[in-house]
A = this chain, B = another copy of it.
């Protein structure tokens, strides 16, 4: 059956099924574009309830993509999952430094994890503005440290680390930015779920909106 539908038709039908199953909800139109794509990529309806957007995060995230800011991810899986054609339309470079040779040497020398140093390297380049974390709580904690201690101002944080040790806590720490740093838009969720696939899906939803005009 599915082999007779074109990919766009499969996606449209998937979104119809997701909307029917979620039913009435209180997401804004823009937020819903992101939420439904997170469900689409995971078949996990918990994302219809556990996601969180800081004020106007979608609109501000879309604007950041349109400005061509660089994207930094914490995993090569998230990097691979962000649509290249869409991203290149706005000139957004993408980088993941976790397997970077310089980062690996410094991690060895300093006894600091590569996840931490990879974020630091990404944040050091002013051309980067969009930080996408789908795996490592330590990456997100480091990004938050840069914000609080070193006056770092990302244009968007997609913070969706997954797991059993530190993931939920790192996202609670991100949620605390809302009051302290209202200038930093972010998209995250509560709890242990998340992942590089969901983080990439969030960025892809924003890229599609960015194209939309």
A residues with a Cβ closer than 8 A to B are: 1-3, 5-7, 10, 13-14, 17-18, 40-44, 75-77, 79-81, 84, 99, 113, 116, 137-138, 141, 162-167, 169-170, 191-197, 200
What residues of B have a CB within 8 angstroms of the CB of A3 in the complex? 113, 116, 138, 141, 166
Report the bound CA distance from A141 to B14 in whole Å.
18
A182: min CB distance to chain B, Å: 26
Query: Is chain A's interface secondary structure helix, strand, loop, or mixed overall?
Result: helix
Among residues of B, the one whose C-beta sits closest to the C-beta of A116 is B3
Given A81-B77, A113-B7, A164-B13, also A44-B2 (CB < 8 A): no
* A43 with B196: CB separation less than 8 A: no
Among residues of B, the one whose C-beta sits closest to the C-beta of A15 is B164
* B77 with A164: CB separation less than 8 A: no
- Taking each of A17, A170, A197, which has the highest tally of chain B beta carbons within 10 Å of its own beta carbon? A197
* B5 with A165: CB separation less than 8 A: yes
What residues of B have a CB within 8 angstroms of the CB of A44 in the complex? 44, 193
Among residues of B, the one whose C-beta sits closest to the C-beta of A137 is B2
Report the bound CA distance from A44 to B68 in whole Å.
35
What residues of B have a CB within 8 angstroms of the CB of A197 in the complex? 77, 195-197
Contact of A167 among B43, B166, B169 (CB under 8 A): B43
Report the bound CA distance from A199 to B44 in whole Å.
16
- Taking each of A6, A79, A194, A195, which has the highest tally of chain B beta carbons within 10 Å of its own beta carbon? A195
Contact of A162 among B1, B6, B42 (CB under 8 A): B42
